[in-house]
Amino acid sequence: MSRRKQVLIAVGVAGSLLVVGAVVLILAFWDRATPVSAEDVAATLDVPVVEEVPGGYGLYVYETSGFETTDALGGARHDYPDETYLTLRPGGCGTLVRWQALEQRWSEWDFCDDLAVAGWQSFNEWYGVSNHDVWSCGAPVPMAGEPGEVWEAECAKQNGTTAVNRFEVIGFETLEIGGETVETLHIRQTETQTGETDGTGVTDVWMLPGTPLMVRRTDDSTTLTQSRIGPVEHHEEYVLQLTSIVPSG
């Protein structure tokens, strides 16, 4: 091989590496984790009425710590702001409960009047690409019970993934919220996903009895999803602590 040809090949390889590096760099800067304000959340969801009673319709503020990560395209991380928001509004089976962490991250649960969950949705956006999962269950899943009770529920999402959820009522626990003592019902959910997505997660939620309001919630989950670019891992962990059991707007 001639010296000139070797040089041309080397230049071509170097150019390709530079292009790949530039693409990775662009993608890294392209990904966003955009905080939202309480006003933006309330306006976007158009909460039609505010009930100034514990667990009533309206907007709630949570002290928040946590993050989510993905290993796709070299990896990225979204850190959650110190305050995130949750809304309760009429709809679905009775009440729609949506937690908004970022413009790029929210979850919504569909509570029936008996406080069972008919299904839920989750939304993530990475590198400008949205992922919206919709979960449905064969029958509404109870989110209340007596201390010591255990039950299981199977739900599925649109890509064929199945989730088996085990629920355990830990018991009644007292928390201090905004200087006020509040009795809550502590429920632990252990989830195993199989199918196009595999993963596990543990969620602890402290509910305000008789309402679909979460007073406290902790989550730690990891999933691996098959995609066109190969297996993609998503990890999320966070702690939410309500600041007031009465909606602010």
pLDDT in tens, 197-225: 999 999 999 999 999 999 999 999 999 99
Q: What percent of the chain has pLDDT over 70?
A: 86
User: Which pLDDT does position 61 carry in this prediction?
Assistant: 97
Joined together, the tokens standing for residue 101 give 């962490």
Q: Mind listing the pLDDT tens digit for each residue in 5-32?
A: 443 344 344 444 344 444 444 544 589 9
Q: How confident is the model at residue 48 (pLDDT cuts 50, 70, 90)?
A: low
What pTM did the predictor assign?
Answer: 0.86
User: Which pLDDT does position 248 carry in this prediction?
Assistant: 84
The arithmetic mean of pLDDT across residues 233-247, rounded, is: 97
User: Which pLDDT does position 227 carry in this prediction?
Assistant: 80
For 42, the enclosing helix (H) or strand (E) is helix 38-45
Give the Cα separation of 238 and 136 in Å (integer). 24
Joined together, the tokens standing for residue 126 give 């990475």
- DSSP letters of 196-240? SEEEEEEEEEEE-TTSS-EEEEEEEEEEEEEETTEEEEEEEEEEE
Q: Mind listing the pLDDT tens digit for each residue in 124-175?
A: 999 999 999 999 998 999 999 999 999 999 999 988 899 999 999 999 999 9
User: Which pLDDT does position 249 carry in this prediction?
Assistant: 64
From the list 82, 87, 128, the residue with the least C-alpha distance to 104 is 128
The arithmetic mean of pLDDT across residues 46-70, rounded, is: 89
Give the Cα separation of 23 and 14 in Å (integer). 14
Give the three-state DSSP class for 21.
helix
Distance separating the N- and C-terminal Cα atoms of the chain: 75
